[in-house]
Amino acid sequence: MPTTAPADAAVTPLVASPIPQWVIGKKVTAFSLTPQTVGTGGALTDGTAASLVGLWDEVDVELETETEEISAADALRHNTVILKDLWRIRMVEILSTTTGNNKLAGAWTGATNEIFKMILTRGPNTWTLYVARTGYTENVRKGRTVGIFTGAIVDAGAAGYA
């Protein structure tokens, strides 16, 4: 009885991962941040896009819901209603020692634009988000320096931002 499989036999991994590769970041094909200029009437106009492909470390999207409790004063149970949702985004870039190559730092330090368009393509899915810049920090993690750009997602609306 042979102890090795023939060369043309299919190899089945011992532990098959149910998670597709694109879910864990392997298939990010586009990631950009584009400053927006708010024109008269609220129309948004694209500036020069900065590609983050090959530079990003992580992207986090967080939802915070604002609620209000509206039950009567003598009620025994809460009656909480949702007033609005606040989506936040946090983009982390591995910073370079090359001058002018740090895209998130450049977007923040310019500070002439309040709104940015972020486009992320992962696998077959593309997301386009408009964010108002809310913060930027830099820190060192295990020998690498990262820039962290945070923003709150805005509703650009059908006619623009205004």
Cα separation, 160 vs 139, whole angstroms: 35
Say if 2 falls within a structural domain: no
pLDDT tens-place string over residues 114-131:
899 998 888 788 888 899
CATH code for position 141: 2.40.10
Helix, strand or coil, per DSSP, at residue 97: coil
Separation of alpha carbons 100 and 135, rounded Å: 20
Question: Considering its fold, how many domains does the chain have in total?
Answer: 1
Does residue 73 lie in a domain region? no
| Tens-digit pLDDT profile for residues 51-75 | 888 788 888 888 889 999 999 999 9
Q: Which tokens belong to 75? A: 């009620």
Query: Which residue range(s) make up the domain with 110?
Result: 26-66+83-153
Q: Is 103 contained in some domain?
A: yes
Residue 5 resides in a domain: no
DSSP-derived 3-state class of residue 41: helix
What pLDDT does residue 15 have? 45
